[in-house]
Amino acid sequence: MCRTQIIFLFSLLFGLHLQAGERTGQARLFLGSAQVSPTQLNTEMTAQGLKQVDLNNQFGLEITFPLNDVISYGLRYNVRIVSQDEATPNPATDYTVQIEQQNMAGVVRLNLLKKDYIRLDAVLGAGGSNTEYKIKTATQDGTLTKKGTPAASLYATAGASLAVGAGKYFFVVEGGYEQNKIDGFDRSGNINTNVDTLDLSGSYISIGFMFDGIPIFTK
């Protein structure tokens, strides 16, 4: 994560701190993947003899604070990494495509069920992303970037999660849909114009750990 993103993220967290006071919050650590089908990219991958992209792996952190007994609000940050090599491995070459993306989003969670050992909620989120795409083949060696301060592309998500545990510690599973389409790239190196839009939208599922009712900030 670049320096400006770190500053922006901590500025938002500080704003949440001012509102949250000494209230406790909820933290989630997660990893997962999204089922994607980027048409332009996969057409180019096939033409270049590379494996197609169908999964978009991610890991991240979310912190939320209760507004009341039903609604919580906060921030989610995640990193997505895709790396594909040749469809038919060749020891004499090292051709790959790599995609790295950082997403930052404000999230709102709606508590649907809250019992001692089980939690169920729905989530909505909206924010932005910064993306970098690199390709190296026999005919290309270049990069597409779409980055801004704090973000350059729109990102949105909607889903639901189920958590099972006790006390403050829960195992959580979340599923939903993400809108994640990037265009208007800056180009560098030797790269053709076959890919000008990268659509990483799709359904996702993640697993992780939820820490509920823990002190996030104290004054």
At 135-147, the pLDDT tens digits run 999 999 999 999 9
Which of 15-29, 38-52, 113-127 bottoms out in mean pLDDT, i.e. has the lowest? 15-29
Task: Compute the distance between CA of residue 183 and CA of residue 65 in angstroms, rounded to an integer.
Answer: 33
Which pLDDT belongs to residue 177? 98
Q: Is the model's pLDDT at 213 over the cut of 90? A: no
Task: Compute the distance between CA of residue 121 and CA of residue 100 in angstroms, rounded to an integer.
Answer: 29
DSSP 20: H
What's the whole-model pTM score?
Answer: 0.86
The owner of tokens 């809250």 is 114
Which pLDDT belongs to residue 200? 95
Mean pLDDT computed over 9-30: 67
Q: Which domains does the chain have, with CATH numbers?
A: 3-23+30-215 (2.40.160.20)
Of the candidates 129, 94, 109, 132, the one whose C-alpha atom is nearest the C-alpha of residue 62 is: 109
Confidence at 129, pLDDT banded by 50, 70, 90: very high
Q: Is the model's pLDDT at 18 over the cut of 70? A: no
DSSP 152: S
Which pLDDT belongs to residue 1? 44
Mean pLDDT computed over 22-37: 90
Confidence at 3, pLDDT banded by 50, 70, 90: very low
Which pLDDT belongs to residue 214? 83
110 vs 2 pLDDT, higher one:
110
Confidence at 149, pLDDT banded by 50, 70, 90: confident
